[in-house]
């Protein structure tokens, strides 16, 4: 197994691996690489949903996430699908986020496997939140020290549901207007990576509403500044999908965003979600 870094700070392509035949020592190496590089791609794989789950369980136990209907034939897998005729609408995951950051125990990692990809567009972009924290001005680090942020499942809730025209309500069945999604979860704004010890920003524009000690209006300008900083190109890596690629990311240490630039093309990926723990304050 060979790791080829994508940028100096974020992401690596794993070469020389068939994920159907990975043993315990290689899984350990992959978990270590995931904590280090934050995003890993593995190209030219040939998997059905059960094989994807078997591989995913080697990274960690699977969880089933709320508000989104899983696949009928495999409840551990979400089919991330947008049909060619689903145009002029939002896309699932189309704004910056960390997956399900509003859960008391947010996922440790997510895994996507591409089945059908558009001829043009449909890339995924990740931002490295440990690198982003390290480069913050000292005054911002001081402001964030011991601060906490509120996360809610707002896109699926009633209070903050997105405007209809920007909602993605196509091939992914979502449980919209669910009052449970409005529940507030408090997480530290800066967390410690449990494996590497790095401090990392843990904010998620799709789900974070405010700092726990400030109003939404007071929080907004500061959060927007942090989002703009975190998503600077130098902290990101961008993946151009080919069919048969696995991408997995450390969901504690990254945000990601699906590019909605492929109207007229079909895009289908299978997703699994790896269990995590309550985030630790740095």
Interface with Fe ion (CB under 5 A): 93, 99
Q: Kindly tell me which of 134 and 259 has the beta carbon lying closer to Fe ion.
A: 259
User: CA 186 from chain center: how many Å?
Assistant: 19
Nearer to Fe ion, 134 or 172 (CB): 172
- Shortest approach of Fe ion to residue 97 CB, angstroms? 6
Q: Which is nearer to Fe ion, 94 or 244 (CB)?
A: 94
CA distance from start to end of the chain: 32
- Nearer residue to Fe ion within complex by CB, 55 or 249: 249
The vertex-2 CA angle with 122 and 192, nearest 5°, equals: 70
Cα–Cα distance list, 130 to 51, 147, 231 (Å) = 31, 17, 12
Retrieve residue 182's tokens.
């409005």
Q: Which is nearer to Fe ion, 62 or 214 (CB)?
A: 62
Using Cβ positions, the residue closest to Fe ion within the complex turns out to be 93
For the beta sheet containing 148-151, the strands, ordered from the edge strand earlier in sequence to the opposite edge, are 185-188, 148-151, 208-211
Q: How far is the CB of 276 from Fe ion (least distance, A)?
A: 14
Query: C-beta of 233: minimal distance to Fe ion in Å?
Result: 20
Q: How far is the CB of 19 from Fe ion (least distance, A)?
A: 21
Cβ 162 to Fe ion, closest distance in Å? Answer: 15
Least Å from the CB of residue 218 to Fe ion? 28
Nearest approach in angstroms of CB 93 to Fe ion is: 4
Whole-number minimum distance, CB 155 to Fe ion, in Å?
Answer: 11
Three-state SS for the chain is CEEEECCCCCCEEEECCCHHHCCHHHHHHHHHHHHHHCEEEECCCCCCHHHHHHHHHHHCCECCCCCECCCCCCCCCEEEEECCCCCCCCCCCCCCECCCCCCCCCCCEEEEEEEECCCCCCCEEEEEHHHHHHCCCHHHHHHHCCCEEEECCHHHCCCCCCCHHHCCCCCCCECCCCHHHHCCEEEECEEECCCCCCEEECCCCCCEEEECCCCHHHHHHHHHHHHHHHCCHHHEEEECCCCCCEEEEECCCEEEEECCCCCCCCEEEEEEEECCCCCCEC
């Amino acid at each position: 197994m060979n790791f080829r870094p994508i940028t100096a700070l974020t992401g690596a392509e794993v070469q020389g691996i068939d994920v159907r035949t990975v043993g315990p020592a290689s899984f350990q190496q992959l978990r270590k690489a995931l904590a280090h590089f934050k995003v890993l791609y593995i190209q030219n794989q040939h998997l059905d949903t059960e094989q994807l789950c078997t591989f995913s369980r080697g990274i960690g136990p699977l969880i089933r996430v709320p508000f989104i209907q899983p696949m009928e034939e495999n409840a551990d897998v979400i089919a991330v699908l947008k049909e060619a005729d689903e145009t002029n609408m939002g896309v699932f995951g189309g704004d910056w986020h960390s997956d399900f950051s509003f859960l008391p125990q947010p996922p440790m990692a997510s895994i996507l496997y591409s089945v059908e990809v558009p001829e043009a567009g449909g890339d995924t972009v990740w931002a490295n939140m440990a690198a982003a924290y390290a480069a913050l001005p000292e005054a911002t680090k001081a402001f964030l020290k011991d601060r906490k942020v509120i996360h809610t499942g707002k896109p699926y809730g009633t209070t903050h549901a997105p405007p209809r025209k920007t909602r993605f309500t196509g091939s992914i069945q979502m449980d919209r207007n669910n009052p449970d999604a409005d529940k507030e979860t408090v997480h530290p704004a800066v967390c410690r990576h449990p494996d590497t010890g790095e401090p990392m920003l843990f904010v998620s524009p799709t789900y974070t509403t405010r700092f726990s000690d400030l109003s939404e209006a007071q929080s907004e300008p500061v959060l927007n500044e942090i989002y703009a900083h975190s998503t600077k190109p130098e902290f990101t890596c961008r993946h151009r999908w080919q069919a048969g690629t696995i991408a997995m990311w450390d969901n504690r240490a990254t945000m990601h965003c699906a590019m909605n630039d492929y109207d007229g093309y079909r895009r289908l990926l299978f997703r699994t979600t790896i269990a995590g723990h309550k985030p630790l304050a740095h």
